[in-house]
Amino acid sequence: MASFPATFAAGCFWGTERYFKKQFGEALLSYKVGYMGGTTTSPSYQDVCTGTTGHAEVLHLECDASKVTYDDLVQFFFRMHNPTTKNQQGNDRGTQYRSAIFYHSEAQRTAAESYIRQLQENEKLAATLSRTFGTSKISTTVEPASVFYEAEAYHQRYLEANPRGYCNHRVYW
């Protein structure tokens, strides 16, 4: 079976995990929340929350290529969080809550950058962004994937275990 990795940062990883699992279900061979994009080795949640490690809270996926495309994931990523706010999603503020796509190949980088261009240049998509978020200026960064550090066990599938737990994500459009 052909598979591929994908890693997204969209604010608090609890909601990111919930919405990707709900949308893509069986197409996800595995999924874990954790940290990526920083300089600290093996950071803890407490370390990342200081904002000094450079890491983002991320969802790391392994996907079944026969059931989902990378483009599908990227398009959904932009629909399930606010990609126009820098280092913030809802009440969560700090670089660890940035909007970022961590690419694992040049093809993923190209796909992410191409969709960002579409969002800003396509009249309909830009209008949808402006209507939904008040602007069409994307602040999402496209960064090379680095070491993925799995978050502590209590963060994994957190909203499955705590259905009324904090989540500021939703599908916007």
User: Catalytic amino acids?
Assistant: 12
For residues 89 and 60, what is the distance between their CA atoms, to the nearest angstrom?
A: 19
Burial of 7 (0-12, 13-18, 19+ CB in 10 A): buried
Q: Which run of H or of E encompasses 19? A: helix 13-24
**Contact (CB, 8 A) for 99 and 85:** yes
Q: What is the side-by-side strand order in the sheet with 3-10?
A: 141-144, 99-103, 3-10, 56-64, 28-36, 149-150
Q: Which residues pair with 8 in a beta bridge?
A: 59, 101
**Contact (CB, 8 A) for 58 and 36:** yes
**Contact (CB, 8 A) for 17 and 159:** yes
* Gyration radius of the chain's alpha carbons: 15
